[in-house]
Structure 1
Amino acid sequence: MTKGKMAAIIAALWIAEMTGSFETAMIYAALKALIADFKDPVLVGWLVTTYLLIGAGAAALAGRLGDIYGRRRVLLVLLAVGVAGSLISAFSINYAMLLTGRAMQGLTGAILPLTVGLVRENLPRERVPMGIGLMISGASAGTAGGLVIGGMIVDHYSWHGIFAGSAVFAAVAFVAIWLCLPRSPRVARTAPLDWLGGVLFVPAILALLLAISSGPKWGLFDARTLGTLAGGAALFALWVRQSLRAVDPLFDVRLFRNRQVLVANLTTALVAMSTLQITLVFSVLLQAPRWTMVGLGVTATLAGLVKLPSNIGSLFAGPLSGWLTQRHGGRIGMLIGGLLTSVGWLMAMAMHGSITGIAVILCVISFGATMLFAVGPTILAGAVPPDRTSEAAGMMTVVRQAFLGIGAQLVTLLLATHTVIGPDGGASYPTERAFMLTMGVIVALSLAATALALALPKGAQEDAI
């Protein structure tokens, strides 16, 4: 393979990965405008949660289907649906239409496991680790683009414009993949696919999210709360049973028997619920009006620019995490990343009154978070058989996306525990007390994720190829 061909493949996959991150982050730039239009922070929070939840469902299927029907083909389908969903949201005339388009966009949340698989499929063996690291760094670049470009669009046009922009982005990625990547091989099957086991977890997650969002209104011991939780638990149990019984499961829970796989996914869940909520928390903090006595009252564009240095720094955190994991084991990378994020959130609790201070804090948190984000796939690559790599990457994406959704709803509810209504009687915003409570919970979860790293083999070296 020539260097030019290799560069074209990496660039196309990088653009595709950026698309998913762009669509995840752009909604945060529009939170203030959306809350002003719909008058309900929890309702707006579902635009975040729904996207992440659909992404979790898509990732459960995309990795395995990519292995069977071809990763390039499946990736093109996801991007095409993402374009359609973006256009529906861009031209939406009510909340239901907006939410429908946003749900369709959620399919782009399954891009990462496909790009990781395509890197291994198309690049020479010695180039695979760097290729995977670049895919992880693409997430930081896409997040930066979503916040900065999304903020500029919101400030100079409206929140409808960010969806038009994401449609263009996804269309460019579609063309790049179509032109630069060769067709993926298809794998012959000897047993029918376990479709039921592959999708059962979606209603289970929905039940859990419903309990989290509506439980405070219903009451902790209300029959609806307890029934929803019990239903979700029952569906999870059924899902696990179905996966264990299936000859060819779409999502093989047996992989969790491997200690490294289990620890990597548990850490991912805790990090997704806590420190990966960084954009949600700080977007609200930066854009909340100054009369709240905690917000800095900046525009959506400036809020994105404040986050930009941390996104640029995070471009180097992914390759560094992979380098550390490959040479010293995943334990070191996780410990360093976890400690950085915990320290960063503690700094945020103590000094959040200036734009400069927040920019520095974001750099610390984001660097650590990206290290944690990047170390997981490298651990999995060394812990599972080669023919299960894409499936394992998809499994981790499921865990991350699902708990990102749970975390987003949790943070939204925590921020809503103490609010103040504007002088004009319009939208309500979190108080400093609400932010301190939210950050305190995030610190506790980040420290728990850091402690989990101690369960990894000391000095074990993972082979990312």
Structure 2
Amino acid sequence: MSSTTRALKRPGFAPIVLVLVLAEIVSAFELSMMYVTLPTLMRDFQVDANTVAWVVTAFLLVSASAGVLGGRFGDLYGRRKVMVIALAIAAIGSIVSLLGGSLEMIILGRAIQGVTGAVLGLAFGLAREHLDEERVPVGISMVGASALIAGAGGALIAGFMIDAFSWHGIFVFAAVVSILAAASVQLVIPRDTIIPSQDKPDFLGAVLLPIAVSAILLGFSGSSKTGFASMQFIGLIGIGIAAAAVWAWWELRVESPIVNLRMFKNRQIALAMTATVLAAVGPLGGGNVPAQLIMQSPPSLGYGLGFSPTAAGVLISTTLLVGYFFSPLGGKLAFRYGARTVFIAGLALVALVVPVILLTYGNVVMFAVAMVFNGIGISLAYGALPNLLIEVVPESHTSEIAGTNTLIRNVGQSAAVAIGAFILARHTDPATTAVAQDGISAAFIFVFVFAALSVVVALMLRRTPAQWVPETVGERDLRRGTAADPEGVVSASA
């Protein structure tokens, strides 16, 4: 921590962490609240799972780019300033969804809300910037796991709003919380001390990435109707792959990339990011929709519990809050035994949840137990992951690495929603929109495969990893030129 920062009068541990948790709750709440709402939107707008899934996917796609772009902007121009702007834009998105009156306008508003993807990386950077070094692991663990509080609140509030009023009330609440969070950050977090950088933001990289991901996911989400051999599917997948190739080529050459792909040369970072995307496609993203269908479907389907949206919200909120109580413990364990151990334990726990659900359809008690284990596992994994990453990066790149991880996680969750919706749509009765039990089982088996893979990759992480030293394109070119011309012949002749 710089001497300038130490010299400033700053609030203590509790106020900083509470405000950062509130800010991250906004981002996670705006995602979690929609999972409870999906069955209602399917009925109100008479659409299938593929179509309504874009309410979630649109948010995740924008959130992915916002995570890296916001993290990069925060490191360059001031994290507090960028966070306040992101929260204000999120409030505007909620208003668009509220006043639009159609599924298309809801999706548009959700895309605008996706700017809150920048919040988590900025929060990690602010925690590392303003907390005492020995308190950083616990603070970051609590902020990282605050998604569980948002999941709890999102499930409970969304369920209550739907039963008492309609889905419109969800967006009113989201707008109010966004404004409160922005005001709290402005009042509590110390002013930015970063001198604005002269580096040019990588806008092209920020645009190309969501184009690539959107095209691929749109192709898969529509494949249940068009088929894999259709020109629409082939064309969208082709566009996505081409955009991804151009994006990767550009990111390796631009001076200040939106995603510093050179960081993936570090073994620990590469493995942590790989485990993240596998877990996001699996238990962190793929299990939410089938779980909601289990709770809100009638028992006559064989797997349903017959819950109302409010009852489903109460169950999920309770289990996630139980999980969040483990986040301080996870931070202390990470400080003592290493984040790797806690991360592996969290991933293993959420993987074991799937067999419990598959083997106990229709049993409320066993489903609730499985959800408690799921909440604890997510809390440990979410809390350990940022600590795992900041162990190998300098403080100046904290928001960048966290933003990149947010991108990876959101792209994985986007894929999980699209693929899960595709699986469920293949087992949906067009007349009743009811999903067959085989579809629920297939979706959870898909989740389990990726959960197991994430554990395998996490086990490959090192206990004492090598540090990543950032290198710009200019430094790399200079190093290569020196290595190729050790005597300086080229420089002399020039």
Counterpart selection for 1:258 from 258, 262, 266: 266
Are 1:290 and 2:299 matched, yes or no? yes
Counterpart selection for 1:344 from 326, 330, 353: 353
Counterpart selection for 1:12 from 11, 14, 19: 19
**Residues 292/279 of structure 1: CA separation in 2 closer, same or farther (3 Å cut):** same
Counterpart selection for 1:209 from 217, 242, 264: 217
Are 1:24 and 2:43 matched, yes or no? no
Match of 1:119 in 2: 127
Are 1:381 and 2:390 matched, yes or no? yes
Q: What is the deviation of 1:2?
A: 7.5
**Residues 314/462 of structure 1: CA separation in 2 closer, same or farther (3 Å cut):** farther
SS in 1 for 2:53: helix
Contact 2:63 2:407 in 1 (8 A): yes
Supply the distance in 2 between the matched residues of 1:54 and 1:75 (Cα, whole angstroms). 16
* Cα deviation code 1:40-71 (max 9, x no counterpart): 12221110111111111111200001112211
Which one has the largest radius of gyration? 2
Identity of aligned residues (%): 32
Are 1:436 and 2:436 matched, yes or no? no
Match of 2:227 in 1: 219
Q: What is the deviation of 1:374?
A: 2.3
The one-letter code of the counterpart of 2:434 is Y
Q: C-alpha root-mean-square deviation of aligned residues, in Å? A: 2.0
Supply the distance in 1 between the matched residues of 2:31 and 2:148 (Cα, whole angstroms). 11
Contact 1:82 1:108 in 2 (8 A): yes
Supply the distance in 2 between the matched residues of 1:153 and 1:76 (Cα, whole angstroms). 27
Match of 2:341 in 1: 332
Supply the distance in 1 between the matched residues of 2:351 and 2:75 (Cα, whole angstroms). 37
Corresponding pairs, count: 459
Match of 1:62 in 2: 70
Counterpart selection for 1:49 from 37, 53, 57: 57
Comparing 262-271 with 363-372, greater Cα deviation is found at: 363-372
Counterpart selection for 2:424 from 415, 418, 425: 415
The one-letter code of the counterpart of 2:455 is T
Match of 1:131 in 2: 139
Contact 2:224 2:426 in 1 (8 A): no
Unaligned runs of 5+ in 1: none
* Cα deviation code 1:276-331 (max 9, x no counterpart): 13332211210112332321221111001111232122213433333333333343
SS in 2 for 1:419: coil
Contact 1:148 1:304 in 2 (8 A): yes
Supply the distance in 2 between the matched residues of 1:434 and 1:256 (Cα, whole angstroms). 36
**Residues 32/391 of structure 1: CA separation in 2 closer, same or farther (3 Å cut):** same
Counterpart selection for 2:309 from 280, 290, 300: 300
Unaligned runs of 5+ in 2: 1-7, 469-494
SS in 1 for 2:315: helix
* Cα deviation code 1:106-148 (max 9, x no counterpart): 1112210011111122222222222111201321111100000
SS in 1 for 2:361: coil
TM-score (norm 2): 0.88
Supply the distance in 2 between the matched residues of 1:349 and 1:174 (Cα, whole angstroms). 42
Counterpart selection for 1:275 from 277, 283, 300: 283
Match of 1:406 in 2: 415
* Cα deviation code 1:360-414 (max 9, x no counterpart): 0001122122322222211110112222121000000000011111101111111
The one-letter code of the counterpart of 2:306 is G
Give the ranges of 4+ consecutive aligned residues of structure 1 lying more than 6 Å apart after TM superposition. Answer: none
Supply the distance in 2 between the matched residues of 1:44 and 1:21 (Cα, whole angstroms). 19
Comparing 444-453 with 116-125, greater Cα deviation is found at: 116-125
* Cα deviation code 1:393-437 (max 9, x no counterpart): 00000000111111011111112221236xxx5x41211111111
Are 1:39 and 2:49 matched, yes or no? no
Contact 1:331 1:459 in 2 (8 A): no
Contact 1:31 1:284 in 2 (8 A): no
Counterpart selection for 1:319 from 325, 328, 347: 328
Supply the distance in 2 between the matched residues of 1:343 and 1:407 (Cα, whole angstroms). 18
The one-letter code of the counterpart of 1:432 is Q
Match of 2:368 in 1: 359
Supply the distance in 1 between the matched residues of 2:170 and 2:13 (Cα, whole angstroms). 32
